[in-house]
Amino acid sequence: MPEFHVAVGDTATFTKTVSESDVYLFSGITGDLAPNHVDADYMAKTSYGRRIAHGALLVGFMSNTSTQIVAQSREAAETAVSLGYDRIRFLKPVFIGDTVTVRYEVAEIQTDKNRSISDIQVTNQDGDLVAVAKHILKWVPNENA
């Protein structure tokens, strides 16, 4: 049986301190100006006490690790494309100033569907699990290969 592009257990990580500019730029790009993200006075009155980063920003960080896995993959006449993220859960808030680490690990290979499925865990600087997801990559044959 030929070797697949990635193997179960392949991993990638990405660490980033979430800055105020990250949150404001993401708000501007997406148009998501919810007070949870941009209004310090509003959030000071909540149980969170301060602004929280967008969950979708964390998904962007997850995408970074997916790109790393593809870059590490075995050369092939196929292009990896994301079929999406399943079971995304934001377990704890990520605050401006938190440092998050995304760990992406290939968990399953579906050779019959030409897919890989990976587990993603995001932790903060205290080691708390703040988000999880599953990611599906489809390996699509190149027409010119």
Query: What is the percent of the chain with per-residue pLDDT over 70, rounded to a whole number?
Result: 96
- Chain mean pLDDT for the chain: 94
Instruction: Give mean pLDDT, residues 52-69.
Output: 97
Q: Is the pLDDT of residue 66 over 60?
A: yes
d(CA 98, CA 52): 10
Per-residue tokens: 22: 């990250």
Q: What is the pLDDT of residue 2?
A: 57
Domain boundaries, the chain: 11-141
Could you report the per-residue pLDDT of 69-114, keeping only the tens digit for each? 999 987 667 899 999 999 999 999 999 999 999 999 999 999 999 9
Least-confidence region, from 9-18, 20-29, 105-114, 135-144: 135-144
Instruction: Give mean pLDDT, residues 130-138.
Output: 98
Q: Are 82 and 66 in contact (CB under 8 A)?
A: yes
Q: What is the pLDDT of residue 143?
A: 79
Which class does domain 11-141 fall in?
alpha beta
Instruction: Name residues whose C-beta falls within 8 Å of residue 43's C-beta, 6 or more positions apart in sequence.
Output: 35, 36, 49, 50, 51, 52
Q: How confident is the model at residue 1 (pLDDT cuts 50, 70, 90)?
A: very low
Q: Are 69 and 32 in contact (CB under 8 A)?
A: no
- 90-107 residues labelled b (16+ CB within 10 A) or e (exposed): beebbbbebebbbbbbbe
